[in-house]
Amino acid sequence: MQKLDAPLYNAVEKAAGARARFCMPSHAGKAKGTLFASCAFDYTEVEGLDNLACPTGVILEAEKKAAAVQRCAHTLFVTQGSTVCMHIALSVAKDRGEVACIGNMHKSFYGGCALLGISPITFDSVRDFLQFTAKSGNVSAVFYTSPDYYGNVFDDDALIKECEKRGIITVADAAHGAHFAYSTLLPVAAAGRADVSFCSTHKTMAAYTGGALLNLKDDRFYDEAVYYRQLWHTTSPSYLVMASTDYSRAIWQKYGEKFYADILGKRDKFKKSSDGAVYRIEKSDDISRLVLNFCGYDAHEANSYLASKGIFAEAAIGDKLIFILNPYNVGELDLLKSELDGFSPSVKAEEYADKSRKVANMCGRVVFVPVGEGEGRVCAGEIGFYPPGTPFIRRGEVFTHKDIEEIAKKAGCTFGLVNGKLVVLQ
């Protein structure tokens, strides 16, 4: 069988044929059961497989191949998702001055800020940010999200151009855009345009969960990024994750145009067959992100209905149900359509927003209280619903009665709780 142009994947595949393993992990590549079907490829840093902490061999070679396709000077592999990439980027930015963000950010941004002692300056628009930085020279970096959970990209051309003039680092959370570099049918990737960007290969490509890439436009932050990866990253990186990321790059690089032409054709067929359905298909910049709008009805109801039929969507948010299309599932759109034909929505979606929330001083020690006792207390961390993972209550804000009701109702999908309790300041 012809080998893929995937050096790390090939090395791990070769190592899977070892005669005996007296190293971690202790299943020794021989554990039985369906769950362990891939265990022969689950390795540690043995001879020939390189070391993520200081790569000089097949990992570095795989990173260079990923950087080339992303049109970046450097790409770093990560096995703990875009969260670690975010924390590395924040560490690089913190060393230089104030950190800003535009629009909604993932909870990993706020978590990283809390860990690093950063108080981010937040802006609703590029215009507001540029007006502020024209007067203040203290901002070192600006973070933004592109694409968002619905597959829509951030119009960042003016931002990147102005930040380059002002010496401000641009950082794009492109977690959902790992596949953009592989087809002309997709939006232009943030990688190679923003100074720093990162994407999750496990979200839209064939990598195992946790696979992510940190992309550096040029050489300026390479040493720092490698240093901070050593600090933030586990010392036990998953070779299954790294090898599958390398595999994904090789396969997508070879077949990407075909993959997304096929996805576009089948998506268009699905759209045409959905005329008169109980949902409408939302516009998305990313053809592989299928968003169904149930027009005021709760998408969670549709999500539960499909799950009972053995069909799992990516996320239900309000009245929208989100699906990620890829080469491995696009052939099942006919099945999805046939099951949706049997669904009739009955539960109205409820949008939650409470603009009456006050902001208090961040002082006092952290304590944990039952949700029902949270009204009037000061939030000590970010609270939100997953997905999409963006907070609706931020640290320093005071919980309202409406907040408490909503959190109690959705405790099962709320992040920021600890053992079901609110984290507040005493």
Note the pLDDT tens digit of each residue in 158-180.
999 999 999 999 999 999 999 99
In a domain, residue 354? The reply is no
Q: What is the CATH number of the domain that holds 416?
A: 3.90.105.10
**What is the pLDDT of the chain when averaged over all its residues?**
95
In a domain, residue 258? The reply is no
Q: What is the CATH number of the domain that holds 172?
A: 3.40.640.10
Residue 154 and residue 51 share a domain: yes
Average pLDDT over residues 80-90: 98
Note the pLDDT tens digit of each residue in 230-268.
999 999 999 999 999 999 999 999 999 999 999 999 999
CA distances 287 to 68, 134, 326, 409, Å, are 24, 37, 10, 34
Average pLDDT over residues 338-343: 97
Residue 55 and residue 201 share a domain: yes
Q: Would you say residue 1 has pLDDT above 50?
A: no
Higher-scoring residue by pLDDT: 364, 210 = 210
Phi then psi dihedrals of residue 145, to 5 deg? -110, 125
Residue 188 and residue 74 share a domain: yes
- Residue 2's pLDDT is 53
Residue 246 and residue 103 share a domain: yes
- Say how many domains are in the chain: 3
In a domain, residue 352? The reply is no
Residue 245 and residue 166 share a domain: yes
- Residue 392's pLDDT is 87
pLDDT grade, residue 390 (50/70/90)? Answer: confident
Burial (0-12, 13-18, 19+ Cβ within 10 Å), 328: exposed
Note the pLDDT tens digit of each residue in 175-188.
999 999 999 999 99
In a domain, residue 347? The reply is no
Residue 171 and residue 302 share a domain: no
Residue 407 and residue 296 share a domain: no
Residue 229 and residue 111 share a domain: yes
Q: What is the DSSP annotation of 126-184?
A: HHHHHHHHHH---EEEEEEESS-TTSPPP--HHHHHHHHHHTPEEEEE-TT-TTGGG-T
Q: How many CB atoms lie within 10 A of CB 51?
A: 15
Residue 400 and residue 330 share a domain: no
Q: Would you say residue 337 has pLDDT above 50?
A: yes
In a domain, residue 42? The reply is yes
In a domain, residue 120? The reply is yes
pLDDT grade, residue 351 (50/70/90)? Answer: confident
Structural domain harbouring 204: 7-252
The length of the chain, given as a count of residues? 426
In a domain, residue 346? The reply is no
